[in-house]
Structure 1
Amino acid sequence: MERTCGLLTLKNEPVPLKSVSVELSVQGFVADVSSTLQYENQESSPVEAVFVFPMESDSAVYRFQAQIGGVLIEAEVREKQEARDEYDDAVSSGQQAFLLEESDESSDVFRLSVGSLPPGQSASVSLSYVTELAVQEDGALRFCLPGVLNPRYTPAGGMSMTASAPAAPGGFVPYSLSLSANIRSPSGIDTVQSNCPLDPLEHLTEDKTEAKVNLSPGHKFDRDVELLVYYKNAHQPTTILEAGLPSATPGSLMADAVAMLSFYPEFPVAVLSSLSSCGEFIFLVDRSGSMDCPMSTGTGEMQRIKSARDTLLLLLKSLPLGCYFNIYGFGSTFESFFPDSVEYTQETMDSAVEKVKTMEADLGGTEILEPLKEIYRKPCRDGHPRQLFVFTDGEVGNTKEVTDLVKINALSHRCFTFGIGEGASSSLIKGMAREGSGHPQFITGTDRMQPKVMQSLRFALQPAVHDISVKWDLPPAVNASPLSPPLKVLFQGQRALLYIQLTGQCDSGAAGSVNLQYTLADASVKNELKFNFKPDKDSGLTIHRLGARTLIRSLEGEEREKEEDEERKALKKKAIELSTQSGVSCSHTAFIGVNKDSKEPVQGPLQRRNIPTARMYGYAMPMCAMACSAPMMFDRCSALEMLDTCCYMSEDSYEYGEADTVIMKSEGDGVSEEDLCDAGRNSVEVDTYTIHAAEPEEDPMLQLISLQRANGSWDLDQKLASVLGKTEEEIASKMPGEVPNNELWATVLALLWLYGFKLDSKDEWQFLAMKAVSWIKGHKGLSVTQCMQVGNTLLGCQVEPQTLGL
């Protein structure tokens, strides 16, 4: 039979998108991105190519243009419905038209429509956007070019732009990607790393302030492309001032100067050394079917749910005695370990650890709203500030409803989010953290989840910052109007960005300053930034566009909060005006371009072609795509979970995009590969499936961690001895005589093993080590030096007492 492969969609239709090329310009911690898509219609009829694709949620799209038949068409930003109507009218009359629009529900999904592309015709479509680069836990700046678009779970009655986006057959994306990056930083560029093969980094100046790097040739756009940029002495407070556009309307945002302020607060050492020992820690874990997928498209990658289980184990061992905690799992339904948060004791920790070990991705679709409502219904505990940790692969359709709910409850908690695996919604992960005064993290490829989660735990245990204010000292004729919402949260060493519109005139040699003030642990702290009014020469309109995007997002959020129609209409009108003036699109506007120079209308019936996108292998792919890639073992329950996640229908009838119904069949009934390949086009009966992968050997460090008691100590038993590479008898026989009990000896040895052999993973186990040291210090009369000498000899390591803090 004919296979679905090559440049074909799931319905054996040609794919008109041939290649994507990206030019990236990084200046400091801001990136300007230009992406060009090459289309070619090789059919005998005119086509409409529709491409639904992901984008970073913080991006500000400011240019959209197309070149066809030697004609350059520059698109304009219009009110969305007006743009759609103009596009439909143009296409129905045979004109060539181009439409780029943001999803109504999520700011990280866009749809690009190329209408009336004649037979044999080529078209080049370009879009440009600017975006901030996130700071990672190791100091790197992260740029992500999303390539994976998994379907977003949409509750009954909802709509999703991703529903009509087909998956690439067998995971094979039928278009290539080329990417080149030029990087500039006054502090010097150290290295650039990526999850994809790169050509060697080339420094363009002796002081290494400019460099370029390219993605290796022949790359298929079948995964998210990440670049991690490491600067020398990178994270210093800065102010960038950008002049307005002379041709812009006087008094508008684009006509005035705009400043971007970057703060990196440094907390006093005394504050950081006294981390909180109280709090209510709630862990909300995605257990939808998609969490059974690997972390990335590479072979042998750990399953997302397995990584989440290991991370929960580490978190449970790292919590301070005296706090409260609970764990929720969610999918189509949700469940909690305890009816209410419980005090952290040996008994409750043991109970939770046993339940974590049995957690599976078995709860269906990704419905996060109801468990959040349940958590917020529970009253907070006095003296124990609530800290919410959310682990999800982010395939949620009602993003704005979720982030709005977090915002409503922002005063009662802090929300830390973790996007797991490729395709996680940046709009959801960043939005929940932003509205919940927390911090977002993304775990993709070969990333270990644990270091990023422990950084967020460190933030959660830091004292909350209060009374944050920004005060200006400016020349008399200049006024500052904030474009960013007020700062609600500050964390040690993490960047805080503010955009400010400056009105009025002054000499370019004039100077000003801005003070960031806040209260921390009952002490007043002030960070000052000084700057002059000489605009930065190289920034173009980047800062204006990012400032406009920031203000538009705030207006959209306010609009959703209002109950009165007139108030909502007024805010919507203001957002549309700002969007059209700045040329930055938003949820209420779209880019529209029409080729009005064409003399002859395009003739013939128009064929719609949906461009396939990359999705995670083994998940969210039609049966035909999976069958054509490899033979698999099947069982009923796992396939029902997967299909519930992918298709969001009842157990009896599942639907995938425009594919026909797939009816589930009982275990034991045979099915051919040909039947599977037809599953995306016809109603067929097929077995359900799951991939049975060999369980990897357990990490000895995680084995050691799992044995620690809630108070920080270890028992001397055969399990611990096995991790240490000794027998229980051998360890007991070497115990110094002055050590009062086996637990002290076992705890010292466990700490020596961690410091001696796992020092490079200290970020993961530092909190449980702090508990262990505190427990040891509670036992007076112990000769630490002699005890450690014997322990070092026994384990074959060299760790000094001061290293452990003893």
Structure 2
Amino acid sequence: MYRCGLLTPEKEPVPLKSIEVELQVRDHVATVVSTLSYDNKEDKPIEAVFVFPLPGDAAVCHFSATVGQTQIVAEVKEKQQAREEYDDALSSGQQAFLLEESDQSPDIFSLSVGSLPPGESASIRLEYVTELAVQADDGLRFCLPAVLNPRYQPRGSEGPSVEVTSVPASQVPYTLSFSARLSSPRPISKVESSSSLDPLQFLNAEQTQATVKLAAGHKFDRDVELLVYYKDAHQPSAVVEAGQASAEPGSLMGDPVVMVSLYPDFPQTVMSSVASCGEFVFVLDRSGSMDCAVNNTNPEQTRIANARDTLLLLLKSLPMGCYFNIYGFGSTFEHIFPESVEYSEKTMEEALKKVEGMQADLGGTEILQPLKHIYNQPCVPNQPRQLFVFTDGEVWNNKEILHLVKENASSHRCFSFGIGEGASSALINGLAKEGGGHAQFITGADRMQTKVLQSLRFALQPAVVDISVTWDLPKGVSATVLSPPITAIFHGQRSLVYAQLTGQSSEAAEGCVTVKYSLAGHPSQSQVKFSLKAVDTGLTVHRLGARSLIRSLEIQEKENGEKPEEVKKRVVELSVQSGVSSAYTAFVAVNKGNNETIQGPLVRRNVPAPRMMMMACSARRMPMKMCGRAVLGGPCNRAAPLMAMCDIAPPKGNYFGIETDSVRAAEPPQPKQPCKDPFLQLVSLQKASGCWLLDSALAAALGKTSEEVEKPKPAPVSQDVWATVLALIWLHGFKMDIKEEWELLAMKSVCWLRAQNAPCVKECLEAANMLLGCSVQEASLGL
């Protein structure tokens, strides 16, 4: 029936032809312009609806459409008003365009192109600004989300979900082109990506400006991730951006706005000491989607298997004297111990046995209940509680979860890890931001172990308390802070502060912002001095400041007991004034220049978003709503025979009418394969105290026979000292490329060796180097 144009694998027409993305990075802020090209090849007018992800903290600031020679620029309006204007335009035969943020999750948007006539083309321009998150290795991370995996919505949770049409990522019919321009006051040292890039092209001799783009042949089958590294990245800075000339003085957009970047530098004496206390609660997603591969290049390595290996390293790296527990969650949740237990050889071994048997067999992704259970447990006195949450992030009730985390942030620090393509940036970043921790994303060929151990080092830093921000400004100038209060500070990690500057000063005037805090019982501070001379940078800082304030207001109603109507009114005013999207507003554009009405019934075409997983229909579908129109899904019974055959309960939630993870639970768990990696074999043999035992298992991990490892041992040295030295020499000799993964457990071993006051250490080192074919020096071990 449809002979031309793009088709899905099910032969449905797709009006979206291509997406072109231009990224501009200025230091640690990014401006992203996406151009979506639509083409109606059918013989009837259509409404094209595209539901897609954006970074959770993005500030959408421009939306326009070009049809023929006519450009229509959208306005930000209260959401219901925007929807009504859009619907009214379609009813009267006018072209209209609507862009709105999901009520439930700020990283999902819906774009509706209404009344596109037969044979007509339209070009949609979408612009947003976003901060670049700092990774533990100092890289600045930009992610262009391409994959929109179904989001799990627990039964009974608040609000309707969104209708999403998706296809496997490899079968997306439209194309993506992507290019980036980078500029910074400091030289750009390198750019890395999970996708293939053309070589980095520097634009000046100082290497402070460069361009890069995706290599030809890129498939739209994954999120596009860029990691930008600068030389001397840890430099505090501030930029004062001039206000909008047309805006009213005294308003947010009319006044200058300052963005301050702070990089606290803790004393070396603090950083060299590892905390020996803390309560560590590891919360692992065991939903069915965790059985998927971490990346396309190695389909055998599943997310759950990677998480098991990571938990092994975490448990071996914990300090003696701390407390810990492990939770697994899906539609239900489990915990290894009824309450957190003291870390010892006995409890570590018991936990490791349970970890070995962990499978992705707990159904759907319901993270709210295990978090509530953890927060209701009394904290261990003098042991700061730290949560490590591992999830592929495919949940719909983000706002409920983040509100709960924020409520408990004073007693619980939260570190979050997004696993695989399509993990919700709003959830992963939100957990860390509201929980005073640090977020990491594991995609492509990333090693989960490296990133998680980086975060463990942050967790072992002393907790920073009594944080305050003070401003020293010329007389007549005042600062109104737009950012939420700083709740966490880590060594070398950036803290951002936005503030509106009101009042007049000379161009030569200077200001200063100081962040004071208490570190390990000692008062400390970080400060930045800056010129008050405002520069024109295209309102990027204003929009990010407005977005920060909007996000704070959106969660204020529950915290401060404010009435929802009052909060909504303030958010709508700020959103309309700044031109930045919010949960309560939408962009709407109506083509009023063309007097011709579009004839014929309007046909809806859902543009498919790429997803990573093939899923069948669920046994039931829930009512869904988007753009003011309800879409009811009929029953589908394809999953019912599987449920009956396997005698499992129906799924507890729905994935937009797609199979829930519960169906996967019907599959019998696969037995864990023996550990083949010598590194993980060696780590698994370490005792909680930090030592190793001299036995055949250690010899096998080192690639030797028992006789080969026992014979060279110096006579006065005990077997466990010799075994521990051997293990440390092997790690330093063969695994320096992943040092971050074993550095903490090696430090524990060195502390144990020092406590033994063992004789003949030099002879031990020489014999171990000789046996293993290494040349590791005593100083390298820290002995």
Category of TM-score, reference length = shorter chain: over 0.9
What is the aligned counterpart of 2:709 among 713, 718, 731? 731
Q: Alpha carbons of 1:777 and 1:4: their partners in 2 closer, same or farther (altered >3 Å)?
A: farther
Contact 1:261 1:497 in 2 (8 A): yes
Alignment match, 1:557: 555
Shift of 1:217: 3.0
2:572 is the alignment partner of 1:576: yes
Q: Alpha carbons of 1:81 and 1:121: their partners in 2 closer, same or farther (altered >3 Å)?
A: same
- Give the aligned residue type for 1:768: L
- Give the aligned residue type for 1:596: K
Alignment match, 1:227: 226
2:585 is the alignment partner of 1:589: yes
Alignment match, 1:791: 768
SS, match of residue 244 in structure 2: coil
- Give the aligned residue type for 1:621: M
2:751 is the alignment partner of 1:777: no
Alignment match, 2:651: none
Alignment match, 2:680: 702
Rounded to whole Å, the distance in 2 between the matches of 1:243 and 1:127 is 24
Shift of 1:20: 0.1
2:367 is the alignment partner of 1:368: yes
SS, match of residue 725 in structure 2: helix
Moved more, 455-464 or 29-38: 455-464
Shift of 1:385: 0.9
- Give the aligned residue type for 1:390: V
2:605 is the alignment partner of 1:609: yes
SS, match of residue 778 in structure 1: helix
Alignment of 1:67-466 (within 5 A): 67-158=66-157, 163-168=162-167, 171-300=170-299, 302-466=301-465
Rounded to whole Å, the distance in 2 between the matches of 1:415 and 1:668 is 40
Shift of 1:220: 3.2
Rounded to whole Å, the distance in 1 between the matches of 2:614 and 2:449 is 26
Alignment match, 2:495: 496
Identity %: 58
- Give the aligned residue type for 2:712: K
What is the aligned counterpart of 1:621 among 608, 611, 615? 615
Rounded to whole Å, the distance in 1 between the matches of 2:138 and 2:454 is 12
Rounded to whole Å, the distance in 1 between the matches of 2:489 and 2:579 is 31
Rounded to whole Å, the distance in 2 between the matches of 1:689 and 1:607 is 40
- Give the aligned residue type for 2:748: K
Contact 1:667 1:687 in 2 (8 A): no
- Give the aligned residue type for 2:442: I
> CA offsets, 1:425-469, max 9 Å, x none?
111111111111111111111100111111111111111111111
- Give the aligned residue type for 1:725: G
Rounded to whole Å, the distance in 2 between the matches of 1:668 and 1:436 is 41
SS, match of residue 42 in structure 1: coil
Rounded to whole Å, the distance in 2 between the matches of 1:680 and 1:533 is 54
- Give the aligned residue type for 2:711: S
Q: Alpha carbons of 1:658 and 1:265: their partners in 2 closer, same or farther (altered >3 Å)?
A: farther
> CA offsets, 1:404-432, max 9 Å, x none?
00111111110110000010011111111
Rounded to whole Å, the distance in 2 between the matches of 1:161 and 1:189 is 45
- Give the aligned residue type for 1:267: F
> CA offsets, 1:332-390, max 9 Å, x none?
00111111111111111101101101100001100001111111111011011111110
Alignment match, 1:747: 724
Q: Alpha carbons of 1:161 and 1:310: their partners in 2 closer, same or farther (altered >3 Å)?
A: farther
What is the aligned counterpart of 2:638 among 659, 662, 682? 662
- Give the aligned residue type for 2:760: S
Rounded to whole Å, the distance in 2 between the matches of 1:180 and 1:656 is 40
Shift of 1:297: 3.1
Rounded to whole Å, the distance in 2 between the matches of 1:692 and 1:606 is 50
Shift of 1:159: 6.9
SS, match of residue 109 in structure 2: strand
2:774 is the alignment partner of 1:803: no
Q: Alpha carbons of 1:695 and 1:446: their partners in 2 closer, same or farther (altered >3 Å)?
A: farther
Q: Alpha carbons of 1:467 and 1:39: their partners in 2 closer, same or farther (altered >3 Å)?
A: same
Rounded to whole Å, the distance in 1 between the matches of 2:110 and 2:667 is 32
Alignment match, 1:41: 40
Alignment match, 1:673: none
Alignment of 1:469-548 (within 5 A): 469-537=468-536, 539-548=537-546
Q: Alpha carbons of 1:436 and 1:495: their partners in 2 closer, same or farther (altered >3 Å)?
A: same
Rounded to whole Å, the distance in 1 between the matches of 2:389 and 2:495 is 22
TM-score for the superposition, normalised by structure 1: 0.91
User: Structure 2: which 5+ runs fail to align?
Assistant: 624-630, 646-656
User: Structure 1: which 5+ runs fail to align?
Assistant: 624-642, 650-654, 670-678
Shift of 1:781: 4.2
TM-score for the superposition, normalised by structure 2: 0.93
Contact 2:356 2:672 in 1 (8 A): no
Q: Alpha carbons of 1:468 and 1:119: their partners in 2 closer, same or farther (altered >3 Å)?
A: same
Shift of 1:16: 0.5
Shift of 1:779: 1.1
Contact 2:9 2:171 in 1 (8 A): no
Q: Alpha carbons of 1:230 and 1:492: their partners in 2 closer, same or farther (altered >3 Å)?
A: same
> CA offsets, 1:103-156, max 9 Å, x none?
111110000001011111100001100001111122111110000001111011
Moved more, 298-307 or 763-772: 298-307
> CA offsets, 1:18-68, max 9 Å, x none?
100011111000000000000011111111111000010110000000001
Alignment match, 2:653: none
Rounded to whole Å, the distance in 2 between the matches of 1:800 and 1:348 is 34
> CA offsets, 1:243-292, max 9 Å, x none?
11111022110000100000111100111122211111101100000000
Contact 1:177 1:218 in 2 (8 A): no
What is the aligned counterpart of 1:767 among 737, 744, 757? 744
> CA offsets, 1:184-225, max 9 Å, x none?
011111221211121111111111111111112343322100
Rounded to whole Å, the distance in 2 between the matches of 1:215 and 1:692 is 38
Aligned length: 762
SS, match of residue 23 in structure 1: strand
- Give the aligned residue type for 2:319: P
- Give the aligned residue type for 2:767: V
Q: Alpha carbons of 1:661 and 1:562: their partners in 2 closer, same or farther (altered >3 Å)?
A: farther
SS, match of residue 222 in structure 1: coil
- Give the aligned residue type for 2:50: F
Q: Alpha carbons of 1:338 and 1:81: their partners in 2 closer, same or farther (altered >3 Å)?
A: same
> CA offsets, 1:483-540, max 9 Å, x none?
0111111001100000011000111111122222111112111222111122234x21
Shift of 1:94: 1.1
Rounded to whole Å, the distance in 1 between the matches of 2:466 and 2:84 is 48
SS, match of residue 588 in structure 2: strand
Rounded to whole Å, the distance in 1 between the matches of 2:337 and 2:15 is 53
RMSD across aligned positions (CA): 2.7
Rounded to whole Å, the distance in 2 between the matches of 1:81 and 1:220 is 37
Shift of 1:235: 2.5
Rounded to whole Å, the distance in 1 between the matches of 2:523 and 2:168 is 59
Q: Alpha carbons of 1:666 and 1:573: their partners in 2 closer, same or farther (altered >3 Å)?
A: closer
